[in-house]
Amino acid sequence: MKTKKAEREAPRNFAVNRQAGHYYHLLEKFETGIELTGTEVKSIREGKVTLKDSYATVRNNEVWLLDCHIGGYQPGSYLNHPAMRERRLLLHRNEIDKLRGRTQERGLTLVPTRLYLKKNLIKCELALAKGKTVWDQRETIRRRTIDRETAQDIREHQRRSR
């Protein structure tokens, strides 16, 4: 049973990019801050965010989140933000240099995997990823199916043996 303090400190996911694991081999993950306006924060807290086709890039010694859709905040009126604007991700200089080198040299890409709340701040989990081939995608699905069937067989065997 969780204590109230543990429940408050547990990260809350606002958006999860499930397709990232299907289309990419996720090699390394980074926790980043994200620069947002007030109406964007309120929209994210309402769950109006999609990471489906989004990606990140390193430009001018800064990391930018592109194609992340954050819906409008209805009470925001004329102060509302554009839904598809570029948002700056906040990282340490040595992390930015590492990401720039890895994405340029080895042909890797930066994929956001989730947006979550941590200590009242919205964070973005960014993964360094390598694209999967069609064969790799099929192999992943095949392994997942085999694991699921094995787990079902084990549960069924344990149920019968009681």
Please give the pLDDT value at position 47: 86
pTM assigned to the model: 0.76
Asked if the model's pLDDT at residue 152 lies above 90, the reply is yes
pLDDT band at 71 (very low <50, low <70, confident <90, very high): confident
Give the tens place of pLDDT for each residue, 76-123.
777 788 788 899 999 999 999 999 988 887 778 999 999 998 888 899
Asked if the model's pLDDT at residue 6 lies above 60, the reply is no
DSSP, residue by residue, 59-92: ETTEEEEES-EE---GGGGGGPPPTT--EEEE--
- Give Cα 47 to chain centroid, integer Å: 14
In whole angstroms, how far apart are CA 43 and each of 37, 47, 63, 78, 144?
A: 10, 6, 22, 15, 34
Round to whole Å and give the CA distance between 133 and 77: 45
- In percent, how much of the chain has pLDDT > 90? 40
Asked if the model's pLDDT at residue 7 lies above 60, the reply is no
Please give the pLDDT value at position 1: 56
Round to whole Å and give the CA distance between 131 and 107: 9
Give the tens place of pLDDT for each residue, 132-149.
888 888 988 899 999 999
